[in-house]
Structure 1
Amino acid sequence: MNTPDEQRFTELYRAHHAAVDAYVRRRSDGAHAVDDVVAEVFLTAWRRLEEIPRGAVLPWLYATARRVLANARRADQRRGNLAEAAARHGRHHVDDPADGVAGSLAVAAAFDALGEQDQEVLRLTLWEELPARHAAKVLGCTTATFHVRLHRARTRLRQRLTTTGTASAPRALTTLGRADA
């Protein structure tokens, strides 16, 4: 027979696994094992089940996923630094041709040029479609602060798109102008 904690966790997992998986996939650059990150998020949820607010489960899971991904990126960076140091002692570095593909699209290039904080604010709003109050919880700030960050991120992205002068910029600017959640 399942305990109340097991039942709550099972319901939480069933209700939010797909959303967390999508959140991680959209932020994964291929270097991270998505399934491992998602598993780590739900392991943390199980361990800290009592700390999860009942009315804001998904923002709590997104915030946890964000931290797990950050930890994975730091570990990748350390491994990359080690590999780079080893490469300096004998091998030549070969650039990956896939790196230039994203840069050929104006919106992707402009987005990539933004800082991590601006990118995350836009991802939470446009990709995850979170209301501002939930996105603020993911980032650990107030709703008012989130609105300011969103406004600034949109402004910086618009500036980058208009300076490129490409045909895709007006369509992207229209998408950015939509009302806040």
Structure 2
Amino acid sequence: MDAAKEQFTELYERHHAEVWRYVARRIVASDVGDVVAEVFLVAWRRLADVPAGSPLPWLYGVARLVLANEARGRRRWQELTVRVAAEAGHVIVMDHADAVVSQRDAAVAFNRLSPGDREILRLVAWEWLTPVEAAAVLGQSRATFAMRLMRARRRLRRHLGMASDAAGRPATPSMSNRNG
């Protein structure tokens, strides 16, 4: 086996499960395999760009971009579907069942955050990345990421407090500061 194939095989075997979990937390299960395959296709094509010491944040960064492309494609497809149906005189009714399902206070508070705040918190809380690694995923300096993380945590605590006040319960304890 040549060196590139060996390097890629090691990268894939070592990080496939982590990339799978990263993607699975962000999209519907049926699409995860396609996105993960695209991430590793990019990794194969750009093998020379993969950082040797810590490739996982780089892979998460690629996954983030692939997910963004998937979301744009899905949005365009939905817009096209609505436009074509409107031109044909059909009315499309979207299923909003998921929107009315009750969620816990933490999920409601988390969903009130901006997409950027949610991604920052996911990287440290779900993916267990250090601020340095998470900053690399987002293409930011460590200082910029640390400031954004602090602000995202503050906003989440505020939303948790508002949810608790509305429900008449004591506020949820603040998030740990494990990663900085």
Normalising by structure 1, we get a TM-score of: 0.90
The answer for the alignment partner of 1:35 in structure 2 is 33
The answer for the alignment partner of 1:77 in structure 2 is 75
Q: Distance in 2 between matches of 1:128 and 1:31?
A: 18
Any unmatched runs of 5+ in structure 1? none
- Tell me the amino acid that sits aligned with residue 91 of structure 1: V
The answer for the alignment partner of 1:15 in structure 2 is 14
Q: Distance in 2 between matches of 1:157 and 1:121?
A: 11
Q: Hey, which bits of structure 1, 4+ residues long, moved more than 6 A?
A: none
Answer yes or no: is 1:98 the counterpart of 2:98: yes
* Distance 1:169-1:105 versus aligned 2 partners, 3 A rule: farther
The answer (yes or no) to whether the contact 2:120–2:148 under 8 Å persists in 1 is yes
- Tell me the amino acid that sits aligned with residue 141 of structure 1: Q
* Distance 1:69-1:169 versus aligned 2 partners, 3 A rule: farther
% identical equivalent positions? 43
Q: Distance in 2 between matches of 1:83 and 1:167?
A: 43
* Distance 1:94-1:80 versus aligned 2 partners, 3 A rule: closer
The answer (yes or no) to whether the contact 2:82–2:92 under 8 Å persists in 1 is no
The answer for the alignment partner of 1:130 in structure 2 is 129
* Distance 1:67-1:155 versus aligned 2 partners, 3 A rule: same
* Distance 1:40-1:121 versus aligned 2 partners, 3 A rule: same
* TM-aligned CA deviation for residue 80 of structure 1: 1.1
Q: Distance in 1 between matches of 2:179 and 2:107?
A: 21
* TM-aligned CA deviation for residue 168 of structure 1: 7.3
Any unmatched runs of 5+ in structure 2? none
The answer (yes or no) to whether the contact 1:121–1:149 under 8 Å persists in 2 is yes
* TM-aligned CA deviation for residue 167 of structure 1: 6.8
Deviations 1:75-122 (A, max 9, x none): 000011122223443224143212222x53211111111111100000
Normalising by structure 2, we get a TM-score of: 0.90
* CA RMSD, Structure 1 to Structure 2 (Å): 1.9
State the aligned residue count.
176
Q: Distance in 1 between matches of 2:126 and 2:29?
A: 21
* Distance 1:149-1:83 versus aligned 2 partners, 3 A rule: same
